[in-house]
Amino acid sequence: MQYLLLIYNNEAEMAAARGTTADGEMMSAYVDFTRDIVRTGHFKAGDALQPTSTATTVRVRDGKTLITDGPFAETREQLGGYYMIDAKDLDEATAIAARIPGAWSGSVEVRPVMVFSNGPA
């Protein structure tokens, strides 16, 4: 079963920490973690995202496309990256999520990927 692990962190705090020793340690922890879940076969995909200052939100209303600057919702923590993993159940997925370095300061949302019984609609 596939789960999407969405990593939320406080962008302002992350930006402030850039270049510090702690930041370097976190980066190498990410490298180690990713290598690890590739090796165990759990890894399907994963990326870091540019900050929400680069985000654009698109809505279509009455056939018209509305484009606005910024993320969909202003929150205290922002989506900063994701992993797509294969896990046998929620316990395994949450155990993997707990090893993501971003979970130590922010939070990781675990979402099962929807399966359509007759293939994607």
Partner 1 sequence: MIEKLDAVFRRESGRALATLIRLLGDFDLAEEALQDAWAAALDTWPTRGMPDAPRAWLVSVARNRAIDRLRRRKMQIEKERLAEALESSSAEFGRDELEDDLLRLVFTCCHPALAMEARVALTLRTVCGLPTASVARAFMVGEATMAQRLVRAKAKIRDARIPYRVPDRDLMPERLDGVLAVIYLVFNEGYAASEGEGLMRRELCEEAIRLARMLNSLMPGRSGVQGLLGLMILHHARRDARQDSSGDVVRLENQDRTRWRGDEIREGQRLVESSLRLQAVPDPYAVQAAIAALHAGAASFAQTDWRQIAGLYGVLMRLNPSPVVELNRAAALSMVEGPGRALECVDALAARGELEGYWLLPATRADLLWRLGRHEEATAAFDAAIALVRLAPERRLLERRRALAAKVSTWR
Among 47, 62, 74, 91, binds partner 1 (CB under 8 A): 91
Minimum distance of partner 1 from residue 83's CB (angstroms): 16
Structural tokens at position 93: 């997925």
Among 34, 94, 105, 107, binds partner 1 (CB under 8 A): 94
Copy the structure tokens of residue 23. 């930041």
Asked if residue 112 binds partner 1 (CB under 8 A), the reply is yes
Sole binder of partner 1 in the list 117, 119, 120, 121 (CB under 8 A): 117
Please, which residues have CB within 8 angstroms of residue 106's CB and are 6 or more apart in sequence?
Answer: 7, 8, 9, 10, 77, 80
47 token code pair = 């990326």
Contact 71, 57 (CB under 8 A): yes
Cβ proximity to partner 1: between 84 and 110 the closer is 110
Q: What residue type is 48 in one-letter code? A: A
Which of the ranges 61-69, 71-79, 84-92, 99-107 carries the binding residues for partner 1, by CB under 8 A?
84-92
* CB 10, min distance to partner 1, A: 24
Q: Name the helix (H) or strand (E) containing 67.
A: strand 64-69
